[in-house]
Amino acid sequence: MTGTGKSASDVVIVGAARTPFGKLLGAMGASITHCGPAGTGQAVKACNNMILAVHQIVLSEALVLGERLGLDPQAFFDVVSNATGNSWALSVNAPIPGLVKGSPANRDFEPGFAATLMLEDLGLAMEAAEQTDTDTVLGRIAANQYAKFVEGGNGGKGFSAIIDQVRHS
C-alpha cells in the first residue's frame, strides 16, 4: 500500500494468488493492482519508493539551490509544478512550508511516512538490486542519504524532511 492507510484514496499493491478479495481491498484504496504472485507487490512498492526517494532528494537539492540563488519558493513551485520537473514529491509533499496544503512540511515534518520506513524500503530495493545484479546508482545514493539522515536522529520525521540534510551538507 502506498499512503498512510487513513483514506480510501491510497494505492493498494497486491502480490498473491488472485482471490475474490477485490471488494474488501477496494475499501482500502482507490486503485488496486494485482502485480503477480506472492512477493511481487512488495517488490513493486520497494521500486516505487526508490523512485520517490530519488525524487524527494533531487527536489530538495533544487529547492535549496533555488533558495541560495534568491528565488522565491512560491514562484519556483508555480513554474515547476506546471512543467517537466513536476512530481508527486513536489505537488503533494513539497518540503517547504506553505507551498502545498497538507504537506508534512506544514506540520514540522510530522510523518505520514517516516524516514525510517523510507530507509527500510530502500534497503529492500537495494537487496533486490544485488540479488538481480542490477546497478541502481541513484537508488544507492538515496539509500545512503536516508541512512545518514536516520542515523542523525531524524528517523521519526517525515521522509521529506531530508531537505534539512541537503541544506546542511
Which of 45, 101, 148, 157 is labelled catalytic?
A: 45
pLDDT tens by residue, 74-120: 999 999 999 999 999 999 999 999 999 999 999 999 989 999 999 99
Domains of the chain: 1-38 (no CATH), 39-167 (1.10.1040.10)
> C-alpha 137: how far from its chain's center?
17
Check if 6 is active-site: no
Report the distance separating Cα 112 and Cα 67, nearest Å: 26
In the predicted model, residues of the chain with pLDDT beneath 50 are 1-2, 4-5, 7-8
